[in-house]
Structure 1
Amino acid sequence: VLIFLSFFFSAPAFSFIYIGGSVEIPNLTYTNDLNDPKSQKFLLQAEAIQSYLAKSYESSFLGKYYLKSVVAAF
């Protein structure tokens, strides 16, 4: 899974940091539907992963800086 994370820092000046990377999810079975970012399976799986990452970051020390995560590809 290819993921992009966004963080916002306000001191000393406003700035955004974008972090890209990939994550392996062992219990996710890859199917061809996940290759199409408009497919129902892609959209549902991406939303589930983005929601999980949001909850994880928001409850961590990075929570005040975290903006969002975006699944770009499987």
Structure 2
Amino acid sequence: MFILYYLYSNIKLRKFRTAHGYTQIELAAVLGISLRTYQRIEYGQQKPNVYVVVRLQRLFQKDISEIMEEYTE
């Protein structure tokens, strides 16, 4: 069976954040989440919900495939 879906990439998120000049606290505020929640997402301890992913796409003007990594099984 072939399954294709996307895995969240915390490494990419940190790269995008720093490239756009945001601190963790600034990006958390823009996304409407707490700093601790943002840190958990960036450190890979928590997956972002759809709302956060959509906000990231719009903010960084990236396709979902650029924010998430393809995973096939």
Q: TM-score, normalised by structure 1?
A: 0.29
Q: TM-score, normalised by structure 2?
A: 0.29
| Larger of the two Rg values belongs to structure | 1
Query: Which has a greater percent of strand?
Result: 1
